[in-house]
Amino acid sequence: MAIKLQLKIDGKNRIFTQKTISARKMREMFKFYEKMEKLESEQGKISQLDVLDDMLILTENFFDAPEVNFDNLLDGIDAVDLMPTLQGVFEQVSEIGADEKKPTMKPA
Mean pLDDT by 10 residues, the chain (108 residues): 94 96 92 88 79 96 97 97 96 80 52
Predicted pLDDT of residue 106: 54
Predicted pLDDT of residue 42: 73
Predicted pLDDT of residue 100: 55
CA neighbours closer than 13 Å in the CB half-sphere of residue 12: 5
Predicted pLDDT of residue 57: 97
